[in-house]
Amino acid sequence: MIYLVDLESVESRYTSEWKNHFPKVLKEKTNQDVSVISGTEITATTTKGAFLNFGATNIYKADQVREMGNLFYEEKITEQDHFVFADAWHPGIINLRYMADLLNIPIKIHALWHAGSYDPHDFLGRTIPDFISAKKYVPWIRHVEKGLFEAIDYNYFASDFHIDMFLENLLDVEERIGRIRYMRTGKITKSGWPMEYVGSTLKKEKKQDIILFPHRLAPEKQPDIFKDLQNEMPEYEFILCQEQNLQKHEYHDLLSKAKMVFSANLQETLGISCFEILATGGMPLVPNRLSYTEMYRPAFKYPTEWTESYESYLENKDKLITRIKNMMKYYNQYNLEIEKNFESLQKNYFSCDKICDNLK
């Protein structure tokens, strides 16, 4: 049996699609029974700058812990069972390992890492005392994340960039040696995310001179750069999606019409919106850093120094404007690049195959 400990559904995020797709694809690709462990859905706006509500998510997870406890209490768990956590930052992982080990039931725990304090640009990394620069005081959160990592049998990451950051900032191991040791044993897997549905849920329409900023309005996404570009190029329609309070179908409609998704992000371990624009036949324009470096073809990357900070952007603004105008003007010449990049990402970054391999 596979028990999927899912994420609460946030309509504006991919977690709403995961509600149906993730258990379905696990069942289809492993040929095993899948039981979903959910919590109580609470209608709540996301915490400002975050992709969930900090209070509601803990109510949801507490319900899931209770259900897992009942499964052990009723003696329904066997050593052949797998527990897949859609989010590795889940206190239930500790509860689950506690029950399984004390009862001597060698279940397997799988979990997908989205973010954590090991990322200096993440919410946790910004608000918890800075271990990375101080190297003196190790805050409680680092011990928690290391404990989660050790309790999990299979730790999944969407990109090489995310793995490297995790190894360096949390585990404090030399990158090459750490990779060999952890990836050989399966403790760490570059898995991609279960998002096979993207190509079939997004449509292609006649493109318009629209440029989207689909990211969270958070400091690490640098929305001020996008706003300044908007002032400089009135011939294009610049849209900050989160300011529009869009329903999911409205956001998808915008994607289908937009020629470009723009990023100046300082944090990105995967970048779903840039993949989505490719699925609609549009172009991403991203800095040559973070997960973007490994994921996107040269046609869609600009030098990282152009947007390393707002000051750096001002120094390179003319170059970036010229690049955007050329791409928008000659959009039709990018069709083959769009197709090739989409196919590569679909296979290597937006598939559940590697997760399912460990469940068979």
pLDDT tens digits, 151-165: 999 999 999 999 999
Residue 357 pLDDT > 50, yes or no?
yes
Q: Phi then psi for 104, rounded to 5 degrees? A: 55, 45
Q: What is the mean pLDDT of residues 234-249?
A: 93
Per-residue pLDDT tens over the stretch 94-135: 999 999 999 999 999 999 999 998 988 887 777 665 544 455
DSSP conformation class of 278 = H
**Angle, vertex CA 13, rays to CA 169 and CA 218, nearest 5:** 55
Query: What SS3 state is found at 110?
Result: strand
**Does residue 76 sit in the same domain as residue 177?**
yes
Rounded distance, CA 37 to CA 53, Å?
Answer: 19
Are residues 204 and 251 located together in one domain of the fold? Answer: yes
Tens of pLDDT, residue by residue over 315-325, are 999 999 999 99
Instruction: Tell me phi and psi for residue 200, to 5 degrees.
Output: -90, -15
Report the CATH number that the domain containing residue 300 is assigned in CATH: 3.40.50.2000
**Does 115 share its domain with 234?**
no
CATH number of the domain where residue 160 is located: 3.40.50
- Contacts for 283 with CB less than 8 Å, ≥ 6 apart: 259, 260, 261, 277, 300, 327, 331, 334, 338
Domain that holds residue 303: 198-348
Asked whether residue 318 falls in the same domain as residue 185, the answer is no
- Look at residue 45 in the predicted model and tell me its pLDDT: 62
Residue 132: the pLDDT is 47
Residues 271 and 171 in one domain: no
Torsion of CA 147, 151, 154, 157, to 10 degrees: -20
62 lies in the same domain as 189: yes
pLDDT of residue 131: 47
pLDDT digits (tens, 9 = 90+) for 15-36: 778 999 999 999 999 999 999 9
Q: Report the percentage of the chain scoring pLDDT > 90.
A: 74
Same domain, 174 and 235: no
Q: Are residues 205 and 159 in the same domain?
A: no
Question: Mean pLDDT for the chain?
Answer: 91
Token pair belonging to 296 = 């996107």
Task: Please tell me the total count of domains within the chain.
Answer: 2
Query: Are 77 and 163 within one domain?
Result: yes
Taking the CA of residue 297 as centre, how many other CA atoms within 13 Å lie in the half-sphere pointing to its CB?
16
pLDDT band at 46 (very low <50, low <70, confident <90, very high): low
- Closest by CA position to 115, among listed 175, 82, 73, 161: 161
Q: List the one residue out of 160, 282, 286 whose CA is nearest residue 215.
A: 286
Q: CA–CA separation, 107 vs 13, rounded Å?
A: 31
Which range, of 62-76, 119-133, 199-213, 260-274, averages the lowest pLDDT? Answer: 119-133
Indicate if the pLDDT at residue 66 is higher than 50: yes
How does pLDDT run across 217-241, given as a tens digit for each residue?
988 999 999 999 999 999 999 999 9
The alpha carbon of 104 is separated from its chain's Cα centroid by a whole number of angstroms, namely 34
Q: Which pLDDT score is estimated for 244? A: 92
Same domain, 47 and 164: yes
Q: Assess whether 145 and 268 both reside in one domain.
A: no
Cβ burial 83-121 (10 Å sphere, 16+ → b, else e):
bbbbbbbbebbebbbebbeeeeeebbbbbbbbbbbbbbb
Question: Do 191 and 45 reside in the same domain of the chain?
Answer: yes
Q: How far apart are CA 158 and CA 180, in angstroms?
A: 17
